[in-house]
Amino acid sequence: MVEESPTNGPIKGVLKKKYGFEGAWKPCFCEFSSGELKIHSGLEDSPVETTIKITPSTVIHIVRDTLPTRFTIELENDKIYMFSTENSQDTNLWVHNLRSETYNGERLSMDDFNIISVLGKGKYGKVMLCEKKGTGEKVAIKSVKKKQIQKSQNFKAILSERNNLMRTNFPFIVRIKFAFQTSTKFYIGMEYIPGGELYHILYNHDINFSDCKLYLAEIALSLQYLHSRGIVYRDLKLENIMIAADGHIKLVDFGLSKDLSISNETSTFCGTIHYVAPELILQRPYSYQIDWWAFGIIACEILFGECPFYDANMTVEMEKILKEPPNFPEDGDDVTKDFISKFLIKRPSKRAKLEDMIKHPFWDDLDFNKVLEKGYKPEFMPKINDVKENFDKEFTDCPAIDSFCSPVNDSKLDISGFSFSEDEEEEIMPSSILTLDFIDPQI
């Protein structure tokens, strides 16, 4: 169980610590900040019993082939501390953060990359297509201005995005490759996905029903995986679904994602109005069900080409979301309309999720294990003659530069342990959640 908090330190949560060579494992609250790991004698309210200073000489190992997963911290005086976590993803998250203080080499910076193009822009920064000098590897680098975060007081967003991406390893979710920061910006490097947004693909191409159904299955599996990891996505929309070179989808942009592994509900209003669930509009506490509402909206857009509650007047649209049934095309088939409707139930407790709908006739004979293994080949394959041709010219025509901005004098935005590179870290191991328990092999 892991919680990130940029105001108090980059990572904290409950670990199990081994006491003595053959001693018992005992739960203890741990927090890592500014190069120090503080170990409490019990849970969060208990006193700190040990403080470990992490230095370049500290050796941190992942113990392989153990359940639960474990890691060790070996100090210069040969003293060894052993900890266990609930799963391999949490182990890697702790190890990444702890090892960030032991790395004594040159950090990555934008000087290590050639900027090819701007791929997108947002409230806090932009995404750039870059090429690593020396290797030619293409990556997408998201830069976020610290001054914009300071103005919004949304200090936790960038660390949540970085940590939640590090905790995921799934075929239909973008993979994080590195992260670093300067006095002015945070940078997150991710795999480059050349096919562009699903929004533009649906607008410019006729996608057959089989491909549409496959996209929805891959999206649904991704949501189920995220929820299994304690993450609510909160920003599912066509613009955040990319098409990879192999034709399969990738979820991107985890700037609004929220870790619910400690608290099962949150109340922050977020997301795009067309996709927001009724409980968000009513400002009630919400949980994973908001992602399944957005999935229903996405399904309607992909299959019918329209948003079921759309109105040019935002207030009217919110009223429709709260009070009216979804508006489907008259010629839409009943099976598909029934499928979508189950995800658009106003009451969250009654709303469908994938495990409720796995045997719905909409899926027909689709084998979800085969979907997970990318056993189905999409008919639509993106054309990639130019690395930026599948992205909006509004962005690709922008100057390909890492723009200057003034430094920020705020200690909360100098996050210890933020930087890492997959080249210097252990490979993030696939989670056991890749084998989804609710999937019947006979389906």
Question: What are the DSSP calls for 131-160, one per residue?
Answer: EETTT--EEEEEEEEHHHHHHHT-THHHHH
Question: Hey, is 247 helix, strand or coil?
Answer: coil
Question: Is it the case that residue 191 has pLDDT exceeding 60?
Answer: yes
Q: Is 235 one of the catalytic residues?
A: yes
DSSP state of 110: G
263 has a pLDDT exceeding 60: no
388 is in an annotated binding site: no
Does residue 379 come out as left (phi exceeding 0), alpha (psi in the -120 to 50 range) or beta? alpha
> Class of the 110-193+388-421 domain?
alpha beta
Q: Using one digit for the tens of pLDDT, what is the confidence trace for 380-392?
A: 999 998 888 898 8
Residue 413 has pLDDT above 90, yes or no: no
Please report the pLDDT score of residue 255 as a whole number.
52
Average pLDDT (424-443) is 35
Query: Domain residues of the chain, as ranges?
Result: 2-105, 110-193+388-421, 198-372
Q: How confident is the model at residue 88 (pLDDT cuts 50, 70, 90)?
A: confident
**427 compared with 371, residue with greater pLDDT:** 371
Intrachain domains 2-105 and 110-193+388-421 with the same fold: no
**Mean pLDDT rounded to a whole number for the chain:** 84
Catalytic residue among 235, 253, 259, 402: 235
Q: Which of 149-153, 247-251, 299-303, 389-393 has the lowest mean pLDDT?
A: 149-153
Question: Which of 127-131, 255-259, 327-331 comes out lowest in average pLDDT?
Answer: 255-259
Residue 258 pLDDT class (50, 70, 90 cuts): very low
CA nearest neighbour of 215 among 250, 173, 187: 250
More confident residue, 419 or 187: 187
Q: pTM for the complete prediction?
A: 0.73
Give pLDDT, residue 343: 98
CATH architecture of the region 198-372 = Orthogonal Bundle (1.10)
Note the pLDDT of residue 310.
Answer: 94
Mean pLDDT in residue range 201-211: 95
3 state DSSP class of 29: strand
CB of 17 closer than 8 Å to CB of 26: yes
pLDDT in tens, 118-172: 998 877 789 999 999 999 999 999 999 998 888 887 777 788 888 888 888 899 9
Cα–Cα dist 86/399, whole Å: 45
Contact present, 81 and 72 (Cβ < 8 Å): yes
Domain 2-105: assigned CATH number: 2.30.29.30
Q: 404 Cβ partners below 8 Å, 6+ apart?
A: 184
